[in-house]
Homo-oligomer: A and B are copies of this chain.
Amino acid sequence: MTGRLFVIGTGPGNPDQMTPEARQAVEAAREFFGYFPYIDRLNLRPDQIKVASDNREELNRAEAALKRAADGIDVCVVSGGDPGVFAMAAAVCEAIDAGPDEWKTVDLTVVPGVTAMLAVAARIGAPLGHDFCAISLSDNLKPWEIIEKRLRMVSEAGLVVALYNPISKARPWQLGRAFEILRETLPATTPVIFGRAAGRPDERMLVMALGEAEAERADMATCVVIGSPETRVISRPGLPDLVYTPRFLEEPTR
């Protein structure tokens, strides 16, 4: 018998946005593998052990967790948001695929969560109300040319675009370049949402037109959502603007 290996998402950070299923996995596990700030959201018991590591060492962390589970320990791998969206579930699967045969028999449970773009969308209205895509802007894991090609094709296809990992100290120019590419296809009035830390005390929501969008408004905790040509802004007296994408589309986009 192996131990259990749970891969959970904490949700966007507000404890009330983490599912009871994820909470139960936390209660059942003994050792926790993940990036410090995510594990610190969990209020572990004194008998629970956190094995923290650098956020960039995802594969190593997955391997360490699998090794412990194969040894019979119940372990929990912790992501922010949803573990299946640019997060640890894929790293755990990669490690199983490339690792020793015994890792394939580990009792694995992936627990879904609320991913950042859904939390941002909810705070601002319904920008993901029609077809949309999620693209990671990190060129650590794929060539930048691929990212440019994808941005061109999805904006031409009329999809709303949620950008994960938009900017970091090591990747300062990519978001600005992404805005340039999207401006080639989309109207300058297209709403851009900078959704920072949705649901947390330091939340900050900002809506700008694509023509004026500045990469400096984003940081590592930001999910950037770029509307489609159909996305609309509703002004409300005394309340923040609402941004939404209608469910219907009458005419070909272009």
Contacts and interface: CB of A to CB of B under 8 A. Distances in A.
A47 interface: no
A221 to B, nearest CB: 17
A125 interface: yes
**Count of chain copies:** 2
A113 B112 contact: no
Given A93-B129, A130-B90, A244-B94, A112 B104 contact: no
Contacts of A11: 19
A19 B21 contact: no
A96 B242 contact: yes
A248 to B, nearest CB: 4
Interface stretch (A27-35, A166-174, A230-238): A230-238
- Give the interface size class of chain A: 35 or more
Given A93-B242, A104-B236, A154-B157, A84 B122 contact: yes
Nearest to A164: B131
A84 B121 contact: yes
A139 B247 CA distance: 11
A234 B143 contact: no
B113 A118 contact: yes
Given A87-B129, A90-B246, A105-B237, 9 more contacts: A16-B20, A16-B21, A89-B121, A90-B130, A93-B244, A94-B244, A105-B238, A145-B252, A150-B159
